[in-house]
Structure 1
Amino acid sequence: MKRVVLITGHYWRSNKKAGFHWLADAFHRNGSEVLFFTCSLSLLSFLRRDKRLQYDGLFQARNRLIAEEEGLWSFVWFTPWHPANLRAGILNKLSTPLFRRYGSFSLGSAESFMQSADVFIIESGPGLLLVPYLKRLRPDARFVYRVSDDLRFLRSHPVVIQAEEEYVSRFDLVSVPSTGMLKLFEGKTPHLELHLHGINKELFDADYPNPYAGTAGPNLVFVGVSHFDIDFLDRASRLFPTRNFHIIGPIDGVQDCPNVKIYGELDFLKTVPFIKHADIGLATRSYMPGAELLGDSLKIIQYTYCRLSIVAPSFISTDRPNIIFYHPGDDESIRRAMLAASTYNRSQTYRDDIKSWDELAELLEGGQHA
């Protein structure tokens, strides 16, 4: 039985299921013993008002190996400090020597599991600083760098970006989720592969009651946690008063409008019917450096699997035919994009490149090539 360690910034008991949660499920379902190791939590997290601290039981779970199910464990690595962007160049520079030592903190009771691990899958983030120690601890294990995000887009501390540059060539596989991210690593490693985000096909293939039942007019849905283009929503809801905009996620600053409904953050399973029964998916993000690479984001993959047309800002780079672009801040551009999305032939949506999480887990484990 293989032992797989997933090192991520996500918390196992989070309400929001990220890609690493689904990968852990897939490895566990396929018979591996799994450790879901949460990093980048420390006393600094309180100063930064880290939203993960709001989850019940997280603080009590710190530095404890917890059996979540038979063959699946979680561990919240809580350290005195971690490499967090201090929002000032001089502070980041001064903190670099200290933050470089992040990987030297004790792994506590998680280390016994890691000593016999067969596969380490490390997400883009501070967990990269553990690579030298883990390589010494388990030199024969398979090391996979799963690049969920561009570290520059995440505004990571420079020491984390430096660790990526220094250690990327030491991985047996560097797996990126979008064609745009391939360019970030070309020439830096011979083990680079494109693996789009997976999807739980059974969940999305199942039948659900229509959450929009009784609602007249087309329904558009946005599901996300940050960087929402509120200006787009203000303009689009005004330009199309008979269309219904459903916003799912902890989004603040949305103006009251009769055709806009805000749901807040929902459990992932509750969002699936909203996506599946929508007429149009919204990938309407505000711009940040690195946002160009989000043409194959997990949400776009989910929308595409449900054969939705997608409205997205023009700075996102993708050649998916079901994505219709608008220029942020431009009423006429938004109007054209909305009309084009409404008339898009959904049967033309190409989704053969979308894999299940089980298929992606096999790729990361080294069972086959894409």
Structure 2
Amino acid sequence: MIDEHDYHLDTLAVRAGQERSQYGEHAEALYLTSSFVADNAAQAAARFVGEEPGYIYSRFTNPTVSLFQTRLAALEGAEAAVATASGMSAILALCMGHLKAGDHIVASASLFGASIQLFNTWLGKFGVTVSYVSATDPAAWDAAVQAQTRLFFLETPSNPLTEVADIAAIAAIAHAHGALLAVDNCFCSPALQQPLSLGADLVIHSATKYIDGQGRVLGGAVVGSQALIEPIYLFLRTAGPTLSAFNAWVLLKGLETLGLRMKAHCANALLLAQWLETRPEVGRVYYPGLPSHPQHALAMRQQSGGGGIVSFELVGGKAAAWHLIDQVQLMSRTANLGDVKTTITHPYTTTHGRVTPAAKAAAGIGEGLVRISVGLEHIDDLKRDLLRGLPDAT
């Protein structure tokens, strides 16, 4: 196994954590088994109580999953990671591991719709309350703290408006009040941003997105210190929303090209965002790599690239947005993102469809908003595809 402190991120994405079996395989091994055999009763007993390392049952111990966890932790500069069945199960596991009835969360108002539903509907059933604040106003986070506040939770960049939060400033506020800061790093991945180095305590990933990068499997992860990961692992061991060995193996293959893909996504997204700013049908473009973005300077300090997500408001509202989405032939009409194939969606009625109109308004999500996850197709072909729904006024 390589020393993770001696290598660059692109190398770690290919090599970190690999331990070959007695067969000396070059590629990572895929362990498709439900359970593992002990040599004797004493060894089985020792493994079940954690006195001896070893694999027991693939719900909570599997070599392929362990390798993915080790490699992702290395990319985030973390001590440990725990893998889950999806990005949403990663958020659930984080909350179950670190919250109890009566606790309070301060969260960004600019969250993925399912995250809001999880907080409001499901955690709310068990007495956990949430206050939503502007992601970009650290003073609002400080003002929202209550005596029972245990967790700050944010996405940066946010979905779908790519708002960029000051991780270091918000981390300092959380820690001053004895709370943890968890950052959803889905839009950037560790290739563009490492929240732990900026003061965050835990990092959330929907590995379904850029970590896989090709729309093949679901997966999630929570990354942080060993002490903070342990209670999350114990919840997953009992409840079972864990990552399958096959999906972990696919995600390992995704990590190998993560750095290269993210550079290409960023380059394509910037070109598309610049072009959209010139279009008369477009009222506003949201992309951290543009100088017009309100948090452009912060994004360029905090991230190594603008990312692959471009959102924009059409002058004609919902009718114009749906017309554009219906006319494209190359882009995929799906709410998934982070794929080598460009995807397009209408956040108001898809990703945030279950969010109340008032909450959507508070988050700045209007009916004319379109979100594009820019893939790796040629930029000229992407522009031509959009022109099918944006008649060329020139």
Q: What TM-score comes out, normalization by structure 2 length? A: 0.30
Hey, which of these two has a bigger chunk of strand by percent?
1
Q: What TM-score comes out, normalization by structure 1 length? A: 0.32
